[in-house]
């Protein structure tokens, strides 16, 4: 038995419980049942003596006759009849118990035999046609009888055996009942040892507590596996993204060192790569802060109408150079509470994507930035009339490092996940509606003031 196992604890608990119940029962039998049995015997004794008196007939001159119906032994009671001089007329006696010659009217006395038996003796004087006659009844005290003592002794002997049997039987039953828990534990340990998070614990199919425990473990393994895979993917994506600028920096620095004339251009290339790395690292930092709840946006009043107008104007200058024009449809006076820099970043990211990916094959494009209130929210839509996003990509474009089909060179697939994190930290949400060939509409909702 393992000291700290639940099985041992349960076994000890109910063994003690059974022992206590047994002791209580024996005590009750000893004190209550024994008393009741003695009382009942005394009542029988009195009844039988009274009964016997009804079958005594006085004849004459100190003569008594007993009728045929008298029972000198009935209901475990021995009856004997005596005349006024306490001379026995007729009677039956248990072996070794006579009762002596002292008669006390309506008194129950006790005598003990050598075998340790206890007997009650009851004497009563009746007047039969004004002639006194004594009737004596004798009955064994059942609480002190040999059979009772034997049963009692047996019970006392059986209790320890019963407790031992209950402890052993209970231990075996509990162990069997806990076998599925052991299997679940072993399975979980196996998964931990092998490090194979794709393994799952088998369910028995009984839908019982053990199955629910297995489900809970499997659910935990699901999330661990997802987190672990995401981490793996993340590390591989980050390494992949950093590899290109690093390779550029290494090769350019080598060229620069070999060729003094080329060093100026090499430094420029290194600078560009360093900037790209720095931008990537700063985006990763934003996401990491968002994951750990350390993004802490400012809570200032923002005139979102004004901010949208301003951002659209600034982005339009850049977009125009790329052949894309930005138009606006902005509701006046819409205010939200949030972080100015973060909201700008959301708008710029979406407009930038619309300009980048929303262009038509001829290199032109139209982007529309709209702002309107919708219930308790301020809704910003960034729509383009570009190629749109196919169904296979649309659910994944919010994932980190996900790039659907045509992606720009300076992108790393982090823009939309940053938009999502920044929006959510403002208590808002994002959505996209797109049909291949019909453009896309990215929407962001902020709780309005
Ligand atoms: P990236 O750094 O590649 O721009 P994003 O997270 O901003 O990363 O975008 C993820 C992917 O979603 C992009 O690679 C692009 O394929 C797709 N995408 C984003 N915006 C649009 C858009 N307006 N139209 C079509 N595709 C888009």
**Cα–ligand 1 centroid distance for 362 (angstroms):** 19
- Residue 362 and residue 322 in contact, taking contact as beta carbons nearer than 8 Å: no
| pTM for the structure as a whole | 0.60
Q: Please check the confidence at residue 338 and state whether its pLDDT lies above 90.
A: yes
Residue nearest to atom 27 of ligand 1 (CA): 357
Is the Cβ atom of 419 under 6 angstroms away from ligand 1? no
pLDDT at 95: 85
pLDDT for 204 beyond 90: no
Residue range 424-429: mean pLDDT, rounded: 95
Alpha carbon of 418 to ligand 1 centroid (Å): 12
pLDDT over 90 percentage in the chain: 49
C-alpha angle 39/43/46, rounded to 5°?
A: 140
**Which of 359, 392, 397 has most ligand 1 atoms within 8 Å of CB, for mutation?**
397
> pLDDT tens digits for 275-316?
989 988 988 888 888 888 888 899 999 999 999 999 999 999
Of all atoms in ligand 1, which is nearest to the CA of residue 413? Answer: 8
Q: How far is the CA of 381 from the centre of ligand 1 (A)?
A: 15
pLDDT of residue 209: 85
pLDDT at 410: 63
Other C-beta atoms within 10 Å of 48: how many?
24
Please say if the pLDDT value at position 407 is more than 60: no
Is 2 a residue whose pLDDT tops 70? Answer: no
Q: Residue 119 above 80 pLDDT?
A: yes
Structure confidence at residue 306 (pLDDT): 97
Out of 52-56, 194-198, 414-418, 422-426, pick the least confident: 194-198
Question: What band does 115 get if pLDDT is binned at 50, 70 and 90?
Answer: confident
C-alpha gyration radius of the chain: 51
Distance from residue 283's CA to the centre of ligand 1 (Å): 15
Span from the CA of 320 to the centroid of ligand 1 (angstroms): 20
* pLDDT score, position 406: 56
Query: What confidence category does residue 1 fall into, taking pLDDT thresholds of 50, 70 and 90?
Result: very low
The stretch 191-216 carries a mean pLDDT of: 86
Residues 6+ apart with CB under 8 A from 211: 203, 204, 205
Residues 363-388 have a mean pLDDT of: 95
**Which pLDDT score is estimated for 444?**
98
pLDDT computed for residue 82 by the predictor? 92
pLDDT of residue 147: 66
The answer, yes or no, to whether any atom of ligand 1 lies below 6 A from the CB of 430, is no
Residue 116 has pLDDT above 80, yes or no: no
Pick the more confident residue, 113 or 408: 113
Q: Among 430, 398, 423, 444, which Cα is nearest to 339's?
A: 423
- The answer to whether 64 and 58 are in contact (CB under 8 A) is yes
246 CA to centre of own chain:
51
Instruction: Give the rounded percent of residues in the chain with a pLDDT score beyond 70.
Output: 96
Number of the ligand 1 atom closest to the C-alpha atom of 412: 2
Judged by average pLDDT, the poorest of 73-77, 141-145, 266-270, 369-373 is 141-145
DSSP structure class, residue 143 = G
Give residue 331's pLDDT band: very low, low, confident or very high (50, 70, 90).
Answer: very high
How far is the CA of 244 from the CAs of 123, 235, 250, 319, in angstroms? 121, 15, 10, 27
- Cα angle at 87 between 86 and 92, to 5 degrees? 100
Q: Bigger pLDDT: 146 or 54?
A: 54
**Is residue 414 lining ligand 1, measured as CB closer than 6 Å?**
yes
Q: For residues 116 and 228, give the distance between their C-alpha atoms in angstroms, rounded to a whole number.
A: 82
How much is the average pLDDT of 114-120?
84
The neighbouring-strand residues paired with 435 are none
- How many other CB atoms sit within 10 Å of the CB of residue 417? 19
Span 433-437, mean pLDDT? 91
* Eight-class DSSP state of 441: E
Is 361 or 246 the better-scoring residue by pLDDT?
Answer: 246
Task: Output 366 or 207, whichever has higher pLDDT.
Answer: 366
pLDDT in tens, 50-75: 999 999 988 777 688 888 889 999 99
Q: Which atom from ligand 1 is nearest to the alpha carbon of 404?
A: 16
Q: Is the pLDDT of residue 318 over 80?
A: yes
Q: What tokens does 375 get?
A: 């219930």
Nearest CA to ligand 1 atom 23: 354
| CA dist., res. 445 & res. 429, Å (int) | 5
Task: Return the ligand 1 atom nearest residue 386 CA.
Answer: 24
Beta carbon of 386 within 6 Å of any ligand 1 atom: yes
Question: What average pLDDT does the structure give for the chain?
Answer: 89
27 vs 432 pLDDT, higher one:
432
Q: Is 360 in the pocket of ligand 1 (CB under 6 A)?
A: no
Q: Which residue has the tokens 């920096």?
A: 249
């Amino acid at each position: 038995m393992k000291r700290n196992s639940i099985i041992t604890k349960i076994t000890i608990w109910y063994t003690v419980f059974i022992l206590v119940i047994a002791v209580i029962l024996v005590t009750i039998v000893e004190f209550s049942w024994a008393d009741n049995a003695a009382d009942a015997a005394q009542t029988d004794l009195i009844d039988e003596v009274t009964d016997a008196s009804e079958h005594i007939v006085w004849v004459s001159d100190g003569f008594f006759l007993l009728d045929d119906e008298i029972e000198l032994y009935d209901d475990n009671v021995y009856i004997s009849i005596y005349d006024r001089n306490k001379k026995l007329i007729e009677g039956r006696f248990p072996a070794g118990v006579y009762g002596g010659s002292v008669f006390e009217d309506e008194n129950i006395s006790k005598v003990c035999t050598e075998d340790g038996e206890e007997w009650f003796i009851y004497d009563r004087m009746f007047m039969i046609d004004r002639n006194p006659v004594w009737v004596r009844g004798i009955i064994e005290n059942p609480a002190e009888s040999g059979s009772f003592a034997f049963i009692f002794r047996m019970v006392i002997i059986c209790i320890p055996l019963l407790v031992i049997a209950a402890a052993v039987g209970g231990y075996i039953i509990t162990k069997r009942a806990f076998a599925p828990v052991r299997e679940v534990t072993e399975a979980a340990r196996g998964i931990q040892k092998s490090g194979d998070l794709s393994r799952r614990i088998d369910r028995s199919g009984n839908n019982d507590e053990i199955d629910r425990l297995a489900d809970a473990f499997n659910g935990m393994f699901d999330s661990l596996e997802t987190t672990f895979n995401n981490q793996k993917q993340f590390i591989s994506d980050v390494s992949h993204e950093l590899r290109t600028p690093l390779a550029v920096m290494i090769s350019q620095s080598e060229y620069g060192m070999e060729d003094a004339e080329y060093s100026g251009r090499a430094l420029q290339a290194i600078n560009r790569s360093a900037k790209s790395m720095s931008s990537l690292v700063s985006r990763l930092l934003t996401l990491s802060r968002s994951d750990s709840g350390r993004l802490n946006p400012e809570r200032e009043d923002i005139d979102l109408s004004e901010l949208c107008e301003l951002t659209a104007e600034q982005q339009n200058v850049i977009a125009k150079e790329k052949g894309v024009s930005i138009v606006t449809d902005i509701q006046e006076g819409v205010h939200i509470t949030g972080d100015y820099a973060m909201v700008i970043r959301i708008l710029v990211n979406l407009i930038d994507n619309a300009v980048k990916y929303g262009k038509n094959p001829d290199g032109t494009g139209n982007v529309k930035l709209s702002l309107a209130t919708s219930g308790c929210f301020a809704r910003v839509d960034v729509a383009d009339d570009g190629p749109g996003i196919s169904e296979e990509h649309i659910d994944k474009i919010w994932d980190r490092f996900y790039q659907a089909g045509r992606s720009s060179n300076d992108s790393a697939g982090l823009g939309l996940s940053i938009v999502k994190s920044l929006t959510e930290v403002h208590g808002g949400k994002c959505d996209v509606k797109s049909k291949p060939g019909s453009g896309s509409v990215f929407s962001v909702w902020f709780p309005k003031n």
